Structure 1
Amino acid sequence: MTDFASTYDDEEHVLAAFHHLVKALGASKNVTDDVRRLAADLDTHLSTRPKTPERKEDETKEVEEQLKFARKKVMRWESNRSMIWALGREEAADYLQAVYEIQRLTESLTSLLLSGGGKQKELLDQANSVLQMAMVRLEEELIDILSKNKQSFEPDYLSFHSCDEDVSSDVSLVSTEAESIEETSRRNSGGTEHEDHKIDLVHPSVISDIKSIANVMFASRYNQEFCDTFVSFWKDVLDEYFFTLCVEKLSIEELSKMESKQLCSKIKKWNKAMKFIIRVYLASEKRLFDQVLGEFGSTYKACFIETAKDSMLCLLNFGEAVVIGPREPDKLFRLLDMYEVLSDLIPDVNTLFSEEAGSFLRTEFHQLLIRLGGTVKATLLKFGHDVASHPSTSPFPAGGIHPLSRYVMNYVNTIAAYSDTLNLLLRVQSGEDTVLIHLCPLASYLRLLTSNLESNIDNKSRLYRDPSLKHIFMMNNIHYMVRKIRGSALEEFYGVEWIKEYTRKFQQHETSYERVTWSPVLSLVRDDGKNGKAVLRERLRSFNMAVEEVFKSQTTWSIPDDELRKDLRISTSQKVIQAYRTFTGTKSAIIGEKFIKYTADELENHILDLFEGPPSLRNSRRR
């Protein structure tokens, strides 16, 4: 019996010695967090072995002494509001050691409490109270470390226009007909691109400090408190960047009521913000969360999703508001910009939200892309219909290039810049949209659009009472269509045959103008074999009156294109002057010189004044 007791005592001494060794290892400043956690687990295991009442009492006293020592270390900082990590890592390591010790002691006391005891319950309550205070302090330290070491991005990462960016001067298709539509490209060049460019959100040197706080809080089962603090901090940072990027968190109702020009300006900012937030900021944030929380399994993914979801939903809600808003032609290019931005970001989004927890964001992103594509197609079809049905109640002054022609052809020119995207979107059509199916769907659509324009312009020409002005108007507008296409990138969509066909059309209107205007006039100076003096003088008088009437009205008519105006003047002059010279040259002796009012040179000068347009247009052309 004595030998058994001696053996038992020896075992107790060995285990006690090993227990002290494990505790010393856990308290060492020169071991990693993993080793420290392993030591704590061994200590807990040793503490849960069966004990004699005497041994339990001894351990309770030992735990009480250890708790008193560790508690003193923690409480010392409750009266000292200096930031521990700001005083150096040695102080931080000493504090963490004390917290780990208290966490270990709570587990030991929990084990001792299993067999009952008021003293153990009292000590456990004390340990939990101190541990809770330590956790609150660690949250404060975490925020301080993050705040002081948050990295500021270089200016080129935020190379966006200011919040006071001018609103683009988009002009509505239904603007007044007298309003000039300037040629301009609507395409958003987008600013700085970021190809998988991750950046450090905090200084790399403090990652280990943040991880050490995470490790002790997770070990103490305060993992939710750590995650809440960490997530809240980065949510606030993301809100700051939203402000910097001029992205307002507006409701769908607010966006749907916004004026078109203001909305277009906000879409430009949204495109830039979308690229920056997804490709740069969130990619960097996910890496940081992995560095800090990666060893805790899926926790880091859940925390990242929690941080990102509000901002992502805000951006996606903006896109939804644009999609459900009016399908105005001026919005098309902004919609295309949005579509192309989202298309480019698909790989980034699939990587960021690849896990199940982020699948709803990934799904919402893809659904928005699909709805944007559908809205683009619907807007294109509506625009084609609007062009065909654009109304007019009065003829366009001076027979010049109608604002609708300028608008549509500038629109066509800009559409071509999105050819890859539009060919993709227009390729899949059904029902009444099958007219757009083609080897190059965009070419089919553009030809349909210009055909609608030609038809509408023809309807507008019928408003002119003067048939000569009708031909001038048609010649101007068809020539303008050809000029915008020939020699430009649009040629590949229309082809050489289209250009030849429409060149013939405006030339036919040029010929028709000359026939309608000048054939009756020239008939007065043609030799019909009647050479009586009175007859010839009357014919010359009628000719003079006719050309004066032409000069009076057609000087104010407009042919804006210099080359076209010059060609028509020369063609007209050759026909009129040749006929006039022949008539006056052969009949002047009969008519009498004093009855010849104009010389050929004077008539030619009058013809060279034709088609200058109203005085206001001439003055602006000279400027």
Structure 2
Amino acid sequence: MNQAVAMQHLAEQICRVTLWDRGEVSAAAKNLLRSIQQPPYSIQADTVCCYSLSRCHSGSSSHDGYASSSDGGGTPTPTSSNGRQLHYPSHAHMDPGPVRLILPGSLAQLEDIICNCQVVFGPDYKQVLLQAFSANSHAWSRFFCEPDIPLVLRGRTVDPSEHTEELTTMLKINTQVLCLMKHQLCEQSRSFEELKIGYFAQFAKCPIKELLEIAVCLSEAVWPPTRIPPMLLACEALKDVLPLIEKLPSSESGDCLSNILHNMREAFRRLMDHTKHHIESNMKTHQDDIIHPMTCFLICSVRSLRSHRNLVQSTLAPGDDSNSFGHLLHDVITCWKSGLTEYANIYHADVQQRCIFLLNNRDHFNRKTDGLLNELLSDWQIVEQYDNEFKLLLIKRYTDEACAPAKSCLNRSCWWWWGSQRPSLDAFTSKFNETFDSQRTWKVPDVALRQDLRDSIEECILSDYTRCLENCSSSGLFCSCLQIDSAGEIYTTENLQTTVQSLFEGC
């Protein structure tokens, strides 16, 4: 038999080999999909942010798509998006089931072909076989196009930022199936392992190439800031499958894998930069909400980033330089704080209202991210100290501005002259009511902040007011003061306290 005839005969033999069980391959893919969709590995979203008074969590204006709280206390209101996954299971937790992907007897058939080739072609039999495998690569790829084999990727025809779940799920399942096929091919019989890997490299050439194309496509995607969770899901999936893809036989994976990692880091830096621009532009839009929608957006973003802390700190933005995750996140938060102040200066000309707006938003952010930022920012203690000092300054400024008109009526020179007590009390009552009647609709949702403001008002005015009343008592005017109070004109100390303690309920 001459060599040309022998080569043709070898090619015909290879074409007749049916190695894989379609039903078992399909079952493995379905089992892997089930692993992704079922608990405990499909961790559910826990990104409760805002209370119902803020429009930012409504369906028409949500920037995050996560569930919201109805009371500000942290209890999620069930919504269609409350089950969004924050993580996919790693390949170690994906179970393909007890499948046998290789048809009985077919592996022995392949090994017989290799043995015969060794006899016919002598020392060059490996090179001859690898050439024959390569010649059949295109024909073998049809196996992956059958309707019962869910291993067809079409990443080049869709926008990865809009089809993240579909692409990442297929990427993880397909990688797992191909790795399992390679493993069973080599482990079932250790004979001719090098040639079996060469066979598999040609058999799975097309799907491996498509896996790499999808991985590159996901890594190069431009993600808008409203798509932070899908972007992190995609990067997490890429990080999980890249070591597996690296083990698959492919001549194209070398530089491609390092480029994918570089692309992921560049994409993350762009995303953080786009997030700053998103906050800046949307901060300029007038809102009637107590909590600005961008505050809620930032809270949900921080929670998403925290849930992928290891990914962002070790893979997407490692190190301590200006491109590290801590620096990038700090810049975003600083941008939001500056935007809040600018917004307050534009839309809240009244100093008191401006202080309440800033207090509500900054305190809401700090409360909802409590315990998260200390793990994300290396200098969080310094930031936290500054925030606490700024909060006290805002409370003091609000208190001084709100109480100054009424407090000025309690003239110190009048404390010692009984004849001036009554005009001082009348003027105080008039100014106090004028100021705080106009603020009865103002709401401070956080109980602790609300109490801090009330206590600050009491501390500012109560001692001077009480001293005035005591002077009235010592001068014989106390009874007339009480009679006037019953007509609703001035306060007793107790009634003044009760009034102050009812402020900021939004009634």
**1:153 counterpart = 2:46:** no
Q: Which of residues 257, 261, 267 is equivalent to 1:369?
A: 261
Residue of structure 2 equivalent to 1:341 = 237
User: 595-604 or 316-325, which moves further after superposition?
Assistant: 316-325
Offset of 1:467 from its aligned partner? Answer: 0.8
Q: Which of residues 442, 445, 449 is equivalent to 1:564?
A: 449
Letter in 2 for 1:202: I
Q: Which of residues 159, 166, 175 is equivalent to 1:255?
A: 159
Residue of structure 1 equivalent to 2:173 = 276
Give SS of 1:554's match. coil
Offset of 1:518 from its aligned partner? Answer: 0.8
Residue of structure 2 equivalent to 1:306 = 202
Over the aligned positions, Cα root-mean-square deviation in angstroms equals 4.7
In the aligned structure 1, how far is the partner of 2:252 from the partner of 2:14? 33
Give SS of 1:190's match. coil
**Alignment length, in residue pairs?**
454
Contact 2:133 2:202 in 1 (8 A): no
Higher relative contact order (CA 8 A, sep 6+): 2
The verdict on how the C-alpha distance between 1:240 and 1:161 changes in structure 2, with shifts beyond 3 A counting, is farther
In the aligned structure 1, how far is the partner of 2:223 from the partner of 2:401? 43
Structure 2: where are the runs of 5+ without partners? Answer: 49-53, 58-63, 69-81, 122-127
Contact 2:356 2:398 in 1 (8 A): yes
The verdict on how the C-alpha distance between 1:232 and 1:555 changes in structure 2, with shifts beyond 3 A counting, is farther
Residue of structure 2 equivalent to 1:403 = 293
Letter in 2 for 1:179: C
CA deviations on 1:393-433 (whole Å, 9 max, x unpaired) are 43644xx332212322332343244444434544579xxxx
Q: Which of residues 257, 270, 276 is equivalent to 1:378?
A: 270
Contact 2:292 2:361 in 1 (8 A): yes
Offset of 1:197 from its aligned partner? Answer: 8.8
Letter in 2 for 1:309: K
In the aligned structure 2, how far is the partner of 1:516 from the partner of 1:192? 56
Contact 1:231 1:304 in 2 (8 A): no
Contact 1:339 1:369 in 2 (8 A): no
Residue of structure 1 equivalent to 2:498 = 605
Letter in 1 for 2:500: I
Counting only pairs closer than 5 Å after superposition, residues 195-594 of structure 1 correspond to structure 2 as 200-203=100-103, 206-212=106-112, 232=139, 235-237=142-144, 243=150, 249-252=154-157, 254-255=158-159, 263=162, 266-278=163-175, 280-287=176-183, 300-353=196-249, 358-394=250-286, 396-397=288-289, 400-424=290-314, 425-427=316-318, 435-436=322-323, 441-462=324-345, 463-484=347-368, 486-488=370-372, 490=374, 493-529=378-414, 536-587=421-472, 589-590=476-477, 592-594=481-483
Offset of 1:240 from its aligned partner? Answer: 5.4
In the aligned structure 2, how far is the partner of 1:151 from the partner of 1:210? 22
Contact 1:409 1:484 in 2 (8 A): yes
Contact 1:186 1:333 in 2 (8 A): no
Offset of 1:572 from its aligned partner? Answer: 1.9
Residue of structure 1 equivalent to 2:92 = 194
CA deviations on 1:151-197 (whole Å, 9 max, x unpaired) are 843965332339xx9x99999xxxxx831365789873212533899
The verdict on how the C-alpha distance between 1:242 and 1:579 changes in structure 2, with shifts beyond 3 A counting, is farther
The verdict on how the C-alpha distance between 1:307 and 1:333 changes in structure 2, with shifts beyond 3 A counting, is farther
Residue of structure 1 equivalent to 2:55 = 178
Offset of 1:472 from its aligned partner? Answer: 1.2
In the aligned structure 2, how far is the partner of 1:145 from the partner of 1:452? 56
In the aligned structure 1, how far is the partner of 2:313 from the partner of 2:328? 10
In the aligned structure 2, how far is the partner of 1:542 from the partner of 1:241? 86
What TM-score comes out, normalization by structure 2 length? 0.72
Letter in 2 for 1:157: L
Offset of 1:534 from its aligned partner? Answer: 8.9
Offset of 1:468 from its aligned partner? Answer: 0.6
Contact 1:349 1:362 in 2 (8 A): no
In the aligned structure 1, how far is the partner of 2:14 from the partner of 2:244? 34
Offset of 1:295 from its aligned partner? Answer: 7.3
In the aligned structure 1, how far is the partner of 2:307 from the partner of 2:25? 41
Contact 1:214 1:226 in 2 (8 A): no
The verdict on how the C-alpha distance between 1:497 and 1:530 changes in structure 2, with shifts beyond 3 A counting, is closer
In the aligned structure 2, how far is the partner of 1:269 from the partner of 1:161? 12
Contact 1:581 1:600 in 2 (8 A): yes
In the aligned structure 2, how far is the partner of 1:401 from the partner of 1:584? 40
Offset of 1:375 from its aligned partner? Answer: 1.1
CA deviations on 1:336-389 (whole Å, 9 max, x unpaired) are 443343334444333223xxxx22244334323321221111212232344345
Contact 1:525 1:539 in 2 (8 A): yes
In the aligned structure 1, how far is the partner of 2:137 from the partner of 2:329? 53
The verdict on how the C-alpha distance between 1:503 and 1:381 changes in structure 2, with shifts beyond 3 A counting, is same
Between the aligned residues of both structures, percent identity stands at 17
Give SS of 1:394's match. coil
In the aligned structure 1, how far is the partner of 2:222 from the partner of 2:29? 38
Give SS of 1:274's match. helix
In the aligned structure 1, how far is the partner of 2:36 from the partner of 2:359? 45
The verdict on how the C-alpha distance between 1:415 and 1:195 changes in structure 2, with shifts beyond 3 A counting, is closer
Offset of 1:243 from its aligned partner? Answer: 3.3
In the aligned structure 1, how far is the partner of 2:467 from the partner of 2:182? 90
Offset of 1:515 from its aligned partner? Answer: 0.4
In the aligned structure 1, how far is the partner of 2:495 from the partner of 2:458? 11
Letter in 1 for 2:360: N
In the aligned structure 2, how far is the partner of 1:234 from the partner of 1:386? 45
Letter in 1 for 2:55: A
The verdict on how the C-alpha distance between 1:218 and 1:330 changes in structure 2, with shifts beyond 3 A counting, is farther
What TM-score comes out, normalization by structure 1 length? 0.60
CA deviations on 1:453-484 (whole Å, 9 max, x unpaired) are 21111111112022111111222233334434
CA deviations on 1:40-89 (whole Å, 9 max, x unpaired) are xxxxxxxxxxxxxxxxxxxxxxxxxxxxxxxxxxxxxxxxxxxxxxxxxx
In the aligned structure 2, how far is the partner of 1:150 from the partner of 1:523? 84
The verdict on how the C-alpha distance between 1:240 and 1:210 changes in structure 2, with shifts beyond 3 A counting, is farther
Contact 1:150 1:201 in 2 (8 A): yes
